[in-house]
Structure 1
Amino acid sequence: MARSLKLITWNTCGIRDTADVQQKKEKICHLLSEQQASVAFLQETHIGINNVQHIEDIRGWKACYSVHHPRSKGVAILIKNDLHFEYIKHDVDPTGSYIVLICKLYSKCFTLVNVYNHAKEHKVLQCLSEYLCQTAKGVLIVAGDFNTVLNPDLDREYPTGNTEPLRPYLEEFISSLMLVDIWGQNNPYERDSFTRFPWKTSKQQIKKTSGQKKTKKKRGASRLDMVFMPRNEVWLAKSCEISKVPRHNISDHHPVVLSLCLPKANNTTVLSCSSGLVIKKRPYKRRPGEISEAEVLKALMSLVECETPLGENVQTLKINKGQKSQELKELFNKMIRGGIPKGFTDSVKENGRYHFRAEYMILASILLRRIEKFLQPSFKSKTMKMSCKLFIIVSFRSTPKKIKRDFLRQALKSLKRIHPSPPRDFKIVENLLPSTDQYKELREGCPLTPTLLTMALKHLACALRKDLKESVVDVCHHRKCITIYMNADQYHILKQNINKFQLQSGISLLPKVGQVWRRKNNSNS
């Protein structure tokens, strides 16, 4: 029987009483109780060295927290007292930007990470990424307030077209640990769900200059609060919702609630599993695009330690990473020259999700990183097409389980060249995916699956940019969708391109029409 677990992340703008908010801590606890949360990630707790009693004596909760400053930053992870919890260890950033708690919940190992990424700090996520690559165990969950958005068109109330200073650092953090934005992935079409709503302009913010009133610029709502999980653990996320709670008396942020389903180990199906790996011996001949030991080591360290029914576990490989990275480099390069050995692509299906041998996960991670270099989002500012009458979001009608072999090959070959150019020979990618008739299977839990789906959307987006004149076409790889600003008289061209894509790829898409969001002054950004 599956066990349900609720986690909530919330920027509370402090937990102590203020002149405007009395009994604030009690109100926070009341909301956590209403949401039936078992674990709470709180940001901006505003706990200084003389205020620790305010978080240590929260009735009904155990607290792991940072101590920084009574008026800024600070994070805490609260664990419900009645939760089956076993502490292993924790680590706190000295500037109060994050806390990492490794523990067991219902005997299952978790690495819980709470982040408050201050707008002026650019190195926090890089440091955290390096630490998690070395220490994360079990199910990794990263939640918090990141002070940036992943897609300005979808995650801000008024898309500006301007660059997001912290966004490149968040993108690199997500990529380094192969994380998924859970809410964004589950809601590709949502454009009006936000987590932060800036306070209304107060009388104190109105200043008189040269006899005229000057009001502080009002900023629109945005989705700054997010929950991330590794690609191969996304199947545990039962739901992820932005809770529409009354916020004006507590915080200018809405909480995000993640519901996890923790099934017991059952319903296991072994799919053509062989015990050994045999590679055909062929004369050695060096070829371009061979895998380096650095790539192997980076991929190995990005995988969270977890058990697999097939072969060695990630933990074992990490313990002997120096020797194993060299051995795997030689193994993978033999595979590039001589083909995939029997049993290497085998998987075990458990509770509807596939498990792979650790070596497969490492090679798939290396290949997806190479492909994603061609798919990286642009951080350049862009001119918004405010004259366009339509805003379209195109996403998958349902989660694709397969893709046509010929289309996959064509999409891989058509990846636009970049400089410096990584290897573009992706025949081994095709060989790693099982074949069914004219299709290649896209297995849930395989690191390559999300990347190949993004590549398919990118392929369609390139065709749309050519055919839709005076339009803006972008791929949001976190939500697996395409956003389009276009003129209404070209909608039939969009439909033709979608129909052609569906015929060639075997993947069904669904376009949805929304309004073009305009600024009050109706000016281009």
Structure 2
Amino acid sequence: MTSLKIGSLNCRGLSEEVKRRDFFSRYRKRYDIIILTDTHCTKEKEKQWAHEWGYKAFFSSGSSRSRGVAILIKNSFTFTIHQEKKDQEGNFIILDMTIQDYRLSLVAIYGPNGDSPTFFENIKGLVSGIKNSSIIMAGDWNVVQDFDKDTSNYSAKNNIRAHDKILDMIESLDLVDIWRALNPDTKRFTWRGPGLKQSRLDYFLISSDLEPFVKNVDMDISYRSDHSPVYLTLQFYNQIKEVG
């Protein structure tokens, strides 16, 4: 039996060492795997950050002022990385991995700020190419799932074409917005902006075969960011089918 707690948060830049070490210390205690977006890490700093983290770390780095994605993994469980796919702009990382006996694709997403359907079309192609039936995707998507339920004080819908591509990916890969599935009518938000704007930009999409293993999915307390972390706890009782 394997319990796994995955956290995802937009950290709003960790180039400042004091803030970075504070974040690592805080979330190392909370999660087994951490997906970070908006890291502001550079390729030159990746080894230093990995050393400060103290365990295994994967990066897709942007600049010291924008973008950047990381997946930080603790040594609290046994895992194997079969392959890694990422872009060079700090927008996504895809890990084909086995956690003990469980094979899955773990995807870190930092969606473009603008309406970019080709980005999500590319993600769909890369994930489907790995051919794992079990998929966990998380991050700051910069796109809501349901405009009525997932936004507050917005004057108009935005990123509509990207939204439609995500819906297409959900259908194609048999994914579920697991927090919404368990909270069908709840209005809660992960991002707070100017003019009292709020939206649920950070969430997990998981393959439907993982739904029986979900123990908990929720939002955490915001800390030194305008985003709240989201987290997913899985309790595996039966082996997820390996690719064969």
Task: Say yes or no: does 1:257 pair with 2:231.
Answer: yes
Who is 1:46 aligned against?
40
* CA offset digits 1:337-383 (Å, max 9, x no partner): xxxxxxxxxxxxxxxxxxxxxxxxxxxxxxxxxxxxxxxxxxxxxxx
Aligned identity (percent) is 26
Who is 2:113 aligned against?
119
TM-score for both structures, normalised by structure 1: 0.44
Cα distance in 2 for residues equivalent to 1:243 and 1:173: 27
- Map of 1:2-13 to 2, 5 A cutoff? 2-13=1-12
Who is 2:241 aligned against?
306
Who is 2:172 aligned against?
176
Letter in 2 for 1:252: D
1:258 CA displacement: 0.2
Cα distance in 1 for residues equivalent to 2:38 and 2:131: 24
1:84 CA displacement: 1.2
Who is 2:101 aligned against?
107
Cα distance in 2 for residues equivalent to 1:71 and 1:144: 19
- The total of aligned residue pairs comes to 242
Choose from 143, 154, 160 the match for 2:138.
143
1:92 CA displacement: 0.8
Task: Say yes or no: does 1:94 pair with 2:88.
Answer: yes
1:54 CA displacement: 4.0
Cα distance in 2 for residues equivalent to 1:164 and 1:118: 10
* CA offset digits 1:195-216 (Å, max 9, x no partner): 1112x6xxxxxxxxxxxxxxxx
Pick the structure with greater CA Rg: 1
Who is 2:78 aligned against?
84
Cα distance in 1 for residues equivalent to 2:79 and 2:158: 42
Cα distance in 2 for residues equivalent to 1:58 and 1:91: 23
1:45 CA displacement: 1.1
Choose from 212, 221, 233 the match for 1:244.
221
- Map of 1:19-418 to 2, 5 A cutoff? 23-35=18-30, 37-120=31-114, 121-137=116-132, 139-158=134-153, 160=155, 162-165=157-160, 166-191=162-187, 193-198=188-193, 218-245=195-222, 247=223, 250-264=224-238, 306=241
Cα distance in 1 for residues equivalent to 2:81 and 2:174: 26
Q: Provide structure 2 residue ranges, at least 5 long, that are not aligned to the other structure.
A: none
Q: Do the aligned partners of 1:92 and 1:99 also contact (CA within 8 Å) in 2?
A: yes
Cα distance in 2 for residues equivalent to 1:139 and 1:106: 14
Q: Do the aligned partners of 1:16 and 1:54 also contact (CA within 8 Å) in 2?
A: no
1:85 CA displacement: 1.7
Q: Do the aligned partners of 1:195 and 1:254 also contact (CA within 8 Å) in 2?
A: yes
1:159 CA displacement: 5.3
1:94 CA displacement: 2.4
TM-score for both structures, normalised by structure 2: 0.90
1:101 CA displacement: 0.8
Cα distance in 2 for residues equivalent to 1:254 and 1:306: 33
Cα distance in 2 for residues equivalent to 1:75 and 1:150: 21
Whose relative contact order is higher, 1 or 2, with alpha carbons under 8 Å and at least 6 apart? 2
Cα distance in 2 for residues equivalent to 1:32 and 1:150: 27
